[in-house]
Structure 1
Amino acid sequence: MTSKDQQLVESAKTAALEVLLHNSKGPFLDLPRTAGWGYPEPYTRDLLISVLGIATTNNAELLQTVRKVLLMLAQNQSKKGHIPSLVHDKEDRGASDTTPLFLIAAVIYGKVTKEPLFLEDAIKKALSWMEYQSPSDRCLAAQLPTSDWRDEQWVLGYGLFVNTLAYTYLKLFGKTKRAEKLRREIERPIFTSNQAKNQGHEGLIIDHQPYYALWAYKVYSSERFDLLGNSIAILSGMASPSRAKAIVDWVETSCASMVKNMELSVDLPPNFFPFIYPGDADWRPRYVDFNQPGDYHNGGIWPFVLGFYIAALVAVKQYDLAEKKLLELTRLIKIGKNKELGFGFNEWYKSQNGKPKGQDWQTWSASNYLYAARCVAEKRTPFFDAIR
């Protein structure tokens, strides 16, 4: 990295910290806000994902906000252990990813603050909740559509993202036997015909691709690529080293083709592809307004997801490629809707033209940038190295 590039990264890191501090108190019980001006609410999944980057800063003020978030989530946890979708609202429920994210964030916070028993009772309840999330009494957790971070996209049954979170928290808590059982269940093939259901339970392996399926349930599945889920599979060690490298190679080759086809304008992978187009079997009428091809969850470029991807590149020791992607991400996050901002840290960007389409100063965009930058600088992946 040239000195000019390094200076740019350092400027972005300084700006990211400014974003996090700015967002650390919002209008709801002084809880952090999800974005600088839009999204004043404390969305659980956004704030819990942000713990990863905050934990690498050792910033006392930000760590205190994490503590407040975790304590309030424990206070608003359901009797059976489920974590709400809004930190301050115990009645806002139904998310499939908030409980596993709570477990990951709680153990990371406990490691950073050297409080291994922090929220022990809430953690036990959350672990119990997750054990009951499989309709076939397996380790694989099932979900309803739009219940994970993709609130405008259908992920039905056994989704990759939620199950990579489950594998991660199991490893972090040292529950290696259950983690291995979950990994073996994921490593089973998806069903491709009605006859296949006689071959045992379905998994998330696609015979002709190196990556994991987006979701599968009985004879139904999606073979479209989920960058977030596959990146966490690599980071956590769920994917073998050979599969991890093959996934990265496939992503880079596919994105090069997308650039040639003018579906992608920057050297960064979208969160999801191939895009869903009108007329495709998985196209839904609501996508016309909220999920056009290359937009939002249907292939938008999300900085927080790229933070995980860059970390995954470091995990497979693709250090030069990780540095290249970090610099590309740094140039992208400079762009915001508000032209007066030095760094926009926007929520998401349109794949075909790289324009910011979400909210500026998004908390998880800033936080995961800091995490990715730390991974590239130190050639390691904090909190994941120990479980991979």
Structure 2
Amino acid sequence: MQNEHRQVIEEAKQAAVEVLLHNAHGPYQGLPRTAGWGYPEPYTRDLMFSILGVAVSGNQTLLASIRKVLETLANNQTARGHIPSLVHDKDDRGASDTTPLFLLGTGLFRHVTGEHDFLQDAVGKALTWMEYQSPSDRCLVAQQPTSDWRDEQWVLGYGLYVNTLVYSYLRLLGQHARADMARRAMRRFTITGGVQHHHVHEGLVVQHKPYFAFWSYKVHSSERFDLLGNSLAMLSGIASPSRAENMIAWIEAECLSMVNKGALVGDLPPNFFPFIQPDDPDWHDRYDLYNKPGEYHNGGIWPFICGLYVAALVAAKKYALAEKKLLALTEMVRVANTPNLAFGFNEWLKAQDGAPRGQDWQTWSAALYLYAATCVAEKRTPFFDDVRKCSKE
């Protein structure tokens, strides 16, 4: 890497830490903010993802804030083990990804601190809750539409993203037998043809394509591409090395095609494609207000997800491509809506023109930039290296 590139990456890393420190103490019980100004609330999923960046930063103030987040979530856990969507509000319930993210976050925190029994009672309850989220009682967990981070997009049944979280926390928490079951289930093919035989169970592998399905349930599925779920599949080892290599080649080719068609600018992939169009059968009227093609969950470019994609490239040993994408991400996190910010760390950008459309100084945008930069610099993926090692055994 050229010296000038190293310098700008270091500047961005310092700016990311400044963002996280600014956001570490908010107006709700002193818990961290989700964004510098727009989101003062402590959203569970954002803060759980941010643990990856906080952990590699080594900043003790940030680690202390995460400890407080995890302990508050445990205190606000329901009697049956569910984790709320807002850290401070025990009545804000119903998300499909907050409980698996809590388990993942706690596993990461235990790894960093060496406190291997940290929040053991809460972890046990959460694990039990997650077992009851499997309708088939075969490890894959199901969800209701708009219940994960995509609050404006339908994911029905067995969603890829949530199940990659489940697999990852099972490995981090030493639940290897159940993790093996989850991986076997996810590696089954999705069911096509409209008929489900009693001895055939749905999975998330798409025939003749290198990536995993967006979601699957009985004879229904979506073969649109989910960058977050597939990046986590590569990081965790759900995707084999050969599948990861083929998937990366496919992603890059599809993105180049979108650029050539004017549907995408820049050198980073959208979170989701092909975009859902108004005449598609999976379009919902509400998308016209909140989820237009190339925007928000329907193909917006999300820096936190791009950070995980960079990490997935490192996991696949695509070091030169990971460096190239990190430099593109470094330029992206400069973009801001707020005047006079050297680095905006915006929430998401429109695919067609790269304009920032979310909130600046977003916690998970800053945190996952730190994680991606660490992965590229060290040619490893902290924490997920251990998960993939277990996946090979």
- What's the TM-score bracket when you normalise by the shorter of the two chains? over 0.9
In 1: Cα distance, 2:158 partner to 2:387 partner: 23
In 1: Cα distance, 2:339 partner to 2:379 partner: 33
Is the CA contact (8 Å cut-off) linking 1:197 and 1:219 kept in structure 2?
A: no
In 1: Cα distance, 2:61 partner to 2:340 partner: 27
Deviation at 1:238, TM superposition (A): 0.9
User: Equivalent residue of 2:124, what SS?
Assistant: helix
Matches within 5 A, 1:178-327: 178-198=178-198, 200-327=200-327
Matches within 5 A, 1:7-18: 7-18=7-18
Q: Which residue of 2 aligns with 1:75?
A: 75
In 2: Cα distance, 1:35 partner to 1:142 partner: 29
Deviations 1:317-346 (A, max 9, x none): 000000000000000110100131000000
Q: Which residue of 2 aligns with 1:44?
A: 44
When residues 189 and 21 of structure 1 are mapped into structure 2, their CA distance, relative to the original with a 3 A threshold, is: same
Q: Which residue of 2 aligns with 1:146?
A: 146
In 2: Cα distance, 1:322 partner to 1:290 partner: 31
| Correspondence 1:174 to 2:174 | yes
Q: Which residue of 2 aligns with 1:382?
A: 382
In 2: Cα distance, 1:293 partner to 1:334 partner: 24
| Correspondence 1:136 to 2:152 | no
Deviation at 1:219, TM superposition (A): 1.2
Which shows bigger deviation, 157-166 or 331-340?
331-340
Is the CA contact (8 Å cut-off) linking 1:55 and 1:112 kept in structure 2?
A: yes
Deviation at 1:386, TM superposition (A): 1.1
Amino acid of the residue matched to residue 202 of structure 2? E
Deviation at 1:198, TM superposition (A): 4.8
Q: Which residue of 1 aligns with 2:59?
A: 59
Matches within 5 A, 1:105-124: 105-124=105-124
Structure-1-length-normalised TM-score: 0.99
Gaps of 5+ in 2: 389-393
Deviation at 1:213, TM superposition (A): 0.3
Q: Which residue of 2 aligns with 1:341?
A: 341
Is the CA contact (8 Å cut-off) linking 1:191 and 1:197 kept in structure 2?
A: no
Q: Which residue of 2 aligns with 1:94?
A: 94
In 2: Cα distance, 1:104 partner to 1:190 partner: 26
Which shows bigger deviation, 169-178 or 281-290?
169-178
Q: Which residue of 2 aligns with 1:160?
A: 160
Q: Which residue of 1 aligns with 2:391?
A: none
Deviations 1:50-72 (A, max 9, x none): 00110001101000000000000
The aligned length equals 388
Gaps of 5+ in 1: none
Q: Which residue of 2 aligns with 1:4?
A: 4
Deviations 1:46-92 (A, max 9, x none): 00000011000110100000000000000000111110000000000
Is the CA contact (8 Å cut-off) linking 1:186 and 1:205 kept in structure 2?
A: yes
Deviations 1:94-140 (A, max 9, x none): 00101111111111111211111110110111111111101121200
Is the CA contact (8 Å cut-off) linking 1:233 and 1:239 kept in structure 2?
A: yes
Deviation at 1:40, TM superposition (A): 0.5
Matches within 5 A, 1:361-380: 361-380=361-380
User: Equivalent residue of 1:248, what SS?
Assistant: helix
Amino acid of the residue matched to residue 245 of structure 2? K
Q: Which residue of 2 aligns with 1:332?
A: 332
Amino acid of the residue matched to residue 87 of structure 2? V
Deviation at 1:196, TM superposition (A): 3.8
In 1: Cα distance, 2:367 partner to 2:225 partner: 24
Deviation at 1:199, TM superposition (A): 5.3
In 1: Cα distance, 2:93 partner to 2:138 partner: 23
Deviation at 1:10, TM superposition (A): 0.5
Identity over aligned pairs, percent: 64
In 2: Cα distance, 1:387 partner to 1:161 partner: 16
CA RMSD of aligned residues (A): 0.8
Amino acid of the residue matched to residue 40 of structure 2? P
In 2: Cα distance, 1:82 partner to 1:313 partner: 33
Deviations 1:263-304 (A, max 9, x none): 101110000000001010000000001000000000000000
In 2: Cα distance, 1:282 partner to 1:58 partner: 44
Structure-2-length-normalised TM-score: 0.98
User: Equivalent residue of 2:126, what SS?
Assistant: helix
In 2: Cα distance, 1:318 partner to 1:125 partner: 39
User: Equivalent residue of 1:213, what SS?
Assistant: coil
Deviations 1:25-57 (A, max 9, x none): 111111000000001100000000000110001
In 1: Cα distance, 2:124 partner to 2:29 partner: 26
